[in-house]
Amino acid sequence: MIHSLFLINASGDIFLEKHWKSVVSRSVCDYFFEAQERATEPENVPPVIPTPHHYLISVLRHRIYFVAVIQSEVPPLFVIEFLHRVVDTFQDYFGVCTEAAIKDNVVVVYELLEEMLDNGFPLATESNILKELIKPPTILRTMVNTITGSTNVGEQLPTGQLSVVPWRRTGVKYTNNEAYFDVVEEIDAIIDKSGSTITAEIQGVIDACVKLTGMPDLTLSFMNPRLLDDVSFHPCVRFKRWEAERILSFIPPDGNFRLLSYHVSSQNLVAIPVYVKHNITFREGSSQGRFDLTLGPKQTMGKAVEAVLVSSQLPRGVLNANLNPSQGTYTFDPVTKLLTWDVGKINPQKLPNLKGTMNLQAGASKPDENPTINIQFKIQQMAISGLKVNRLDMYGEKYKPFKGIKYMTKAGKFQVRT
Amino acid sequence: MSASSAFNEEKLGSSSVGEAEYAYDPVSGKIFSSDYNRHDDLKEMLDSNKDSLKLEAMKRIVAMIARGKNASDLFPAVVKNVACKNIEVKKLVYVYLVRYAEEQQDLALLSISTFQRGLKDPNQLIRASALRVLSSIRVTIIVPIMMLAIKEAASDMSPYVRKTAAHAIPKLYSLDPEQKDQLIEVIEKLLADKTTLVAGSVVMAFEEVCPERIELIHKNYRKLCNLLIDVEEWGQVVIINMLTRYARTQFLNPNINESLLEEGSGGEKMFYGSDEDEDEDEKEKKAEAAAIAKRKPYVMDPDHRLLLRNTKPLLQSRNAAVVMAVAQLYFHLAPKAEVGVIAKALVRLLRSHSEVQFVVLQNVATMTIKRRGMFEPYLKSFYIRSTDPTQIKVLKLEVLTNLANETNISTILREFQTYVKSQDKAFAAATIQAIGRCATNISEVTDTCLNGLVLLLSNRDETVVAESVVVIKKLLQMQPEKHSDIIKHMAKLFDNITVPMARASILWLIGEYCERVPKIAPDLLRKMAKTFTAEEDIVKLQTVNLAAKLYLTNSKQTKLLTQYILNLGKYDQNYDIRDRTRFIRQLIVPNEKSGALSKYARRILLAAKPAPVLESAFKDRDRFQLGTLSHSLNIKASGYQELSDWPAVAPDPTVRNVEVIDPVKEWAPSLGKAKQPKSDDKFYSDEEEKGEEGSDSSSSEDSSSSTEESGSESEKESNEESEKTSTDSGKSSSDSERSSSESEAEQKKKKNTKKKNKPAAADSDSVESEAKYSSSSTESSSESNSESDSDSPAQQKISVKAKPKVELKAKKEVSLLDLDDFSPAPTNAPKPSVISSSLLSDLKGLSLSNVSPTLQITTSSFGPEKTHELLHHMTGKGLSAKYHFPRQPCLYQPQMVAVQLILTNTLDHSLEEIHVGDRSPASLSIHCFNTIERLEPGASVTVSMGIDFSDSTQAANFHLCTKEDQFSVSIQPAVGELLMPSTMTEPDFCKEQKKLQGMNETSATIIMATANASIQTISKQVLSVANVGVVSSSNNFHRFAGRTISSGDLVLVSLEPKESSTALLTINTEKSVVASMLLRDLKQALAQA
């Protein structure tokens, strides 16, 4: 399956290599660099690149290319999914997944990679198992280790791999038993010029942070489970129970994990919480353009729209912009032509507005296309789909846990065409 | 390898270049900047006896490996530390070893013994990791060692070790492909494994080593289907892909009726010619199938249904690879009506990382060509955002184009209008192509598209205009007669268009259709003649072309112009143009020198050119299995396994029958009998369908329950199996079904004769190796060798005595022969019990006297008491067989459990040639009794066998054959029979018990009948259940000790009486399955008495 892994940074240096079978020379990455050159943008490098003797499958995350070398037929998604899992694990261990973090923890990285794959086939990818085998480095532990000479490698053997619930480590103990669930929904939408919705869908996840002693068995039920007709589960969720009763029943992993993600598709009606009034025009012949943008709340059920950030890629002809925001600050990068406006909170009484002129390159013709506007925002205490958790029950343990649930709606890929 | 060169380079450059490089590298900067001879320094650290120094050194070395620096010269220093106590040092040494062992083969051998020791460790996790590292060392010399280790691990008690064994198989295979045959045997054995942990890994091994041996899957097919949902996600992907391939060879095309309908009535008209083409290609193949299908409507094989049903929930997996695997399975295997379910899941994946999107979109693009309707409801999910990377945009465009039809084309075109204006010009160009494709595919919008494209001609961007002209050119080529006005329009636009490619395209267009625009064409040529010298090369070439074509069609008006242009071309700077001019002149202008070609000038230049076909780049991609690397690249990748076409006639579905499901059939016997006459002509008759359906559901229920209570799974199965054998035999006796069962048997026979040679040889091989191993590994071998020699004959006598005289001669010969063959076996075999009794009496003296007799009494008295029926005389056509466990050490091999068979002939004529036929699982080692030549009517004979149950209560199935018939029977050992007594003192017992705490301890409070007060009765009860030895105890406790026969693991039973007739029963052993089963049995026995 996966032969080797190369980590390549943005400037094209291979800063880590790992081989699970016999060694593949790093010159194989030259094919990758070729493809990288051909693709103008970093994200346009094709994920699957054939070379005479190998195949390269790569993912780009945190400006690092993770390039896996494959020798024979294997489902590309298998490798891609695994590489993403590797990145997630690094992030989990080191907080960030940057070149510096990886280089600082190269030994832990190596130990992790060694455990995650055996002969190129995934062995232990569950974070609970890995953490039992290799403890994540913390500042405290690093200090203790340097003084006492103890190690990051867990003394225990990976008993988790033998268990019926491989995702949960054994012998978990907490003094405060707590279980938090975050229902986070992202709206992906395309709004056309006239303000009507072309497509809108909701991507929801339920992220959990469960710190419970022992082997708790949880059930989570919803007020309106019918909303969830397109879901994917963490392996811990008992699928049969969901099919039959529409109740999530599971023995949770320890710590943070994604319990469920769901999709409310474009066929359903999705409420759009903000509207945009815009007037962006370029006049033929003149070297000036007008820019006028107003944001307003809509269908928010009385909740405040916060952390609003507007960004737009202005046409290449624009030299600079001279704008005046009624609230927040804006920046315009004359090189990338990216306009960003940090609005903050929308006040329904006094709608935020950004107005002014754009200067075009002298002699440049009128741009064909008006820029699209990308909007980010957050609404606390609301799930836009209307999903509501009914109750959470725990079986199998005696204590009474502290339970909490939080709802949030965010903008996903929210675009307004002008 | 570049290793040595890299090393030299490094040494040379270490002072200057190396230094500079390390300066900005935080890790190495910290480590290496201090000195030049860093390797000496590291060696010193490795040689020190402080773990912290060693660890530091190893960390540095691993950092070097990670950066691709050569560290091979440290090999001797590192390998020394392979047995280091510190677990992190050890792990890092493993990392180093696996990396460099290939280059330093001789030195690597030094480490092997450490791993060999690890392989025998009582802890399963250590055994597993030892095997993992050992098999990762790519040194050819140790291939035999690896082979042995894998074989042994494959029959390990621990599923985790077996999983590791499965992982090791491809490693060994890549190291030495000649081991293939042996490895396949191991794979076959592991495929039969019932645990979810092993399933994924062994299928992986199967795919890497022997994907062509599809027949190995038959027996495990249903099990794999049922286990699938509980297998870890990566294993699921591999299993699903394999099962897709399997299903294509074994089942009929579920869409066969529909494709027939289409062919017959020509009803549903296909959009893409491809489908029809394909249909024609397959027509011949299908014709055959069609004939069958016409006779009988298609009914899906229940196994086919099982696969579809059990994979469907996995569409909900969080792992994109699993979802994709299920999607491709449905695409390739499901009836058309059911494929739709995958669309939703695939659309959900589009929210994932862009790499996942890329691959999913490629697959969706292929699917949309074949099954457009499936994704139509999700059209809007493929709309493009300005922030998508270009490669994703282009793929989405492809999907949108494929989805376009009469009803949605207007919305799609509106979207396209937005895209055309995109700042991403490569994407805008792709959109124009897409519009072109929509225009050709959907005739209603051809004009709209054409007009839209014409508007685009006034675009400022070169690429957009050029692309539009090119697409318009293609569209016009399809139906030029209708569109002379567009051609005229383009000619008018010509003055404004500056992009050379577009200008050239227009010139070509006018030239091609000059007869339709007779007035414009010469005028355009006139304009071109004016500006010829200022044009781009490509435009000049087309001008020459245009001139030539006009000269041929309208020479009156254009003769002079043409000559002028040809003259200009003759002296052009570009030699291409000069060449072309010369060629054209010779071709069209008739002169005495011109050859034969000029006659054909018109036909050459004005030939009718076929219209270009605008079709999807994904049109033929479905020749590859979806989701594969080959599909993604559209090239056959190495190691790609073709997805075969559906078979025209379904292969025998009974090959997948494992006996386990038979009882279900038997539950509804009336059904089977009533419809009997039909059933023997075809496999696919209705009532079999029903019967199997029932069995399927029950087995899937099994799997569901097994997830929750995996502990009791094996028991249940064993129950089922035993039930099955009885019912099974009942079935075969009933006349109605005999015919079919006979035919099956015949088939089996054929297979066996084919295979006979191989497995037999292999079996004996493995037996031998095991024997060798046991001689070295059994710890108890040191106990007393001197006694054993004298014991064995005595033992033999005992067993021989039990048999009637007739049998005696033959039997003796056999055992003697066998003793020669397996010389080490008897020395080990008979020891334990004999020693136990003698030692007991020797050591314990008086205090024990009341116990040891019970032991002896029980072992001899309980043995024959519990006789089980093996074959009823009704089922066995007069031959009846019973068996019991004599509780004596087996003569043939120490790992085997001795079984005595009493065969009786109840007929009025004699039976001949009674012997043991083939067995299952195939790996099961049975020492059979010698063939009984003749059994007189009414006579009975006792024979003994040895069976290695490998410490599991899995039934040993085999055929008991007579000259005419064979009967499948199975011996189901109670867990207590898998033990042999072990003697130990009370302190020893306690010491051993302490070692086996925690996971290895199983305990329960039980209720005892009050009558069990005395020590003897309790011992009697316990001994009736399990073959264990009594340990004398000073207090109220009852203790019993035993070892499992096959692996020799200790099993300690202690019973602590509590108040009011309850007691605490504790069992300590590593074999947790044995423990739980034993606990249950004991609980029952003690409560009953």
Q: Which CATH class is domain B977-1088?
A: alpha beta
* pLDDT value of position B83: 78
Q: How many Å lie between the alpha carbon of A387 and the closest alpha carbon of chain B?
A: 18
Q: Which CATH class is domain A178-270+382-416?
A: mainly beta
Q: How many Å lie between the alpha carbon of A124 and the closest alpha carbon of chain B?
A: 10
- Beta bridge pairs of residue B418: none
Q: A102 to chain B: nearest residue by CA?
A: B27
Flag if A41 and B126 touch (Cβ within 8 Å): no
Substitution target from A119, A135, A184 for chain B, most B beta carbons within 10 A: A119
Q: A198 to chain B: nearest residue by CA?
A: B380
Residue B95 CA to residue B65 CA, distance in Å, equals 9
Interface of A with B in 325-364 (CB under 8 A): none
Size of interface A-B (CB pairs under 8 A): 246
* Cα→Cα distances B1009→B1057, B1085, B1087, B1089, Å: 12, 10, 5, 6
- Give yes or no for residue B1008 having a pLDDT over 80: no
Flag if A100 and B26 touch (Cβ within 8 Å): yes
Residue B633 CA to residue B366 CA, distance in Å, equals 13
pLDDT band at A55 (very low <50, low <70, confident <90, very high): very high
Q: What is the ipTM of this complex?
A: 0.91
Q: Are strands A402-416 and A178-191 parallel, antiparallel or unpaired?
A: parallel
DSSP state of A12: S
Flag if A107 and B92 touch (Cβ within 8 Å): yes
Per-residue pLDDT tens digits for A144-171: 665 655 555 555 555 555 666 778 877 7
Token digits of residue A182: 């975050």
Token digits of residue A33: 């660099």
Residue B741 CA to residue B654 CA, distance in Å, equals 10
Residue B926 CA to residue B518 CA, distance in Å, equals 95
Minimal Cβ distance to A119: which of B124, B170, B234: B170
- Give yes or no for residue B198 having a pLDDT over 80: yes
Which of A99-113, B625-639, B973-987 comes out lowest in average pLDDT? B973-987
| Interval B255-276 mean pLDDT | 48
Chain A residues close to B343, C-beta within 8 Å:
none
Q: How many Å lie between the alpha carbon of A333 and the closest alpha carbon of chain B?
A: 17
Q: B420 to chain A: nearest residue by CA?
A: A369
Flag if A25 and B2 touch (Cβ within 8 Å): yes
Cα end-to-end distance, chain A, whole Å:
47
* Cβ partners under 8 Å of residue A396, min gap 6: A214, A215, A216, A217, A251
Per-residue pLDDT tens digits for B950-986: 777 777 777 777 877 778 888 878 888 888 888 788 8
pTM above 0.80, yes or no: no
* pLDDT value of position A172: 81
Residue A30 CA to residue B521 CA, distance in Å, equals 52
Fill in the amino acid letter for B34.
S
The answer to whether A301 faces chain B, any CB pair under 8 Å, is no
CB B502, CB B457: distance < 8 Å = yes
Flag if B385 and A71 touch (Cβ within 8 Å): no
Fill in the amino acid letter for B396.
K
**Cα torsion at B159, B163, B169, B174 (round to 10°)?**
-170
HEC string of B511-535? Answer: HHCCCCCCCHHHHHHHHHHHHHHHC
Residue B725 CA to residue B747 CA, distance in Å, equals 20
Chain B residues close to A149, C-beta within 8 Å:
50-52, 55
At residue A72, the 3 state secondary structure works out as coil
Flag if B234 and A190 touch (Cβ within 8 Å): no
Chain B residues close to A363, C-beta within 8 Å:
none
For B5-10, which contacts have Cβ atoms below 8 Å and span 24 or more sequence positions? Answer: B6/B69, B6/B70, B7/B70, B7/B72, B7/B73, B10/B69, B10/B70
pLDDT band at B765 (very low <50, low <70, confident <90, very high): very low
CB A225, CB A401: distance < 8 Å = no
Q: How many Å lie between the alpha carbon of A119 and the closest alpha carbon of chain B?
A: 7
pLDDT band at B155 (very low <50, low <70, confident <90, very high): confident
Flag if B359 and A153 touch (Cβ within 8 Å): no
The answer to whether A74 faces chain B, any CB pair under 8 Å, is yes
- Give yes or no for residue B762 having a pLDDT over 60: no
- Give yes or no for residue B790 having a pLDDT over 60: no
Fold category of B40-250 in CATH = Leucine-rich Repeat Variant (1.25.10)
pLDDT band at B700 (very low <50, low <70, confident <90, very high): very low
CB B59, CB B93: distance < 8 Å = no
| Mean predicted lDDT score pLDDT of chain B | 72
Token digits of residue A90: 């690094």
* pLDDT value of position B301: 84
- Give yes or no for residue A59 having a pLDDT over 50: yes
Share of chain B above pLDDT 70, in %: 71
**Cα torsion at B575, B578, B579, B583 (round to 10°)?**
170
DSSP state of B444: G
Q: A239 to chain B: nearest residue by CA?
A: B313
Flag if A107 and B65 touch (Cβ within 8 Å): no
* Cα→Cα distances A42→A11, A274, B391, Å: 11, 32, 11
Chain A residues close to B417, C-beta within 8 Å:
none
Flag if A15 and B67 touch (Cβ within 8 Å): yes
Minimal Cβ distance to B136: which of A119, A155, A234: A119
DSSP of B183-239, one letter per residue? Answer: HHHHHHHHHT---HHHHHHHHHHHHHH-TT-GGGTGGGHHHHHHHGGGS-HHHHHHH
Residue B656 CA to residue B993 CA, distance in Å, equals 45
* pLDDT value of position B271: 40
Flag if A243 and B313 touch (Cβ within 8 Å): yes
Residue B224 CA to residue B250 CA, distance in Å, equals 15
CB B384, CB B424: distance < 8 Å = no
| Interval B399-418 mean pLDDT | 88
Share of chain B above pLDDT 90, in %: 5
Token digits of residue B914: 């009674």
Chain A residues close to B88, C-beta within 8 Å:
151-153
Flag if A149 and B51 touch (Cβ within 8 Å): yes
Residue B71 CA to residue B63 CA, distance in Å, equals 10
Flag if A159 and B125 touch (Cβ within 8 Å): yes
Per-residue pLDDT tens digits for B854-884: 333 334 334 445 778 887 777 777 788 888 8
Q: What is the CA radius of gyration of chain A?
A: 25
Domain boundaries defined on chain A: 2-148, 178-270+382-416, 274-380
The answer to whether A115 faces chain B, any CB pair under 8 Å, is no
How many Cβ atoms are within 10 Å of A230's Cβ, its own excluded? 17
- Give yes or no for residue B43 having a pLDDT over 90: no
Chain A residues close to B166, C-beta within 8 Å:
none
Q: How many Å lie between the alpha carbon of B129 and the closest alpha carbon of chain A?
A: 10
Substitution target from A24, A48, A77, A84 for chain B, most B beta carbons within 10 A: A77
Phi/psi at B41 (5° precision): -60, -45
Q: What is the CA radius of gyration of chain B?
A: 40
The dihedral built from the CA positions of residue A42, A232, A266 and A416, taken in this order, carries a sign that is: negative
Closest CA to B129 of B95, B176, B105, B103: B95
Flag if B389 and A44 touch (Cβ within 8 Å): yes
Domains A178-270+382-416 and A274-380 are alike in CATH topology: yes
At residue A207, the 3 state secondary structure works out as strand
Flag if A77 and B313 touch (Cβ within 8 Å): no
CATH code of A2-148, in short, is: 3.30.450.60
Query: 2.60.40.1170, 3.40.50.300, 3.30.420.10, 3.30.70.100: which CATH number matches A274-380?
Result: 2.60.40.1170
pLDDT band at B357 (very low <50, low <70, confident <90, very high): very high
Token digits of residue A34: 């070729």
Q: Which CATH class is domain B860-973?
A: mainly beta
Q: How many Å lie between the alpha carbon of B393 and the closest alpha carbon of chain A?
A: 10
* Cβ partners under 8 Å of residue B455, min gap 6: none
Give, in degrees to the nearest 5, the angle at Cα B912 between B906 and B913. 125
The answer to whether A239 faces chain B, any CB pair under 8 Å, is yes
Closest CA to B343 of B330, B362, B356, B352: B330
Residue located via tokens 């001879």: B37
pLDDT band at B236 (very low <50, low <70, confident <90, very high): very high
Flag if A110 and B65 touch (Cβ within 8 Å): yes
Residue B892 CA to residue A42 CA, distance in Å, equals 69
Chain A residues close to B637, C-beta within 8 Å:
50, 55, 72-73
Chain B residues close to A77, C-beta within 8 Å:
320-321, 324, 356, 359-360, 627
Per-residue pLDDT tens digits for A232-263: 888 888 888 888 888 999 999 888 889 999 98
What is the H or E stretch that residue A320 is in?
strand A318-325
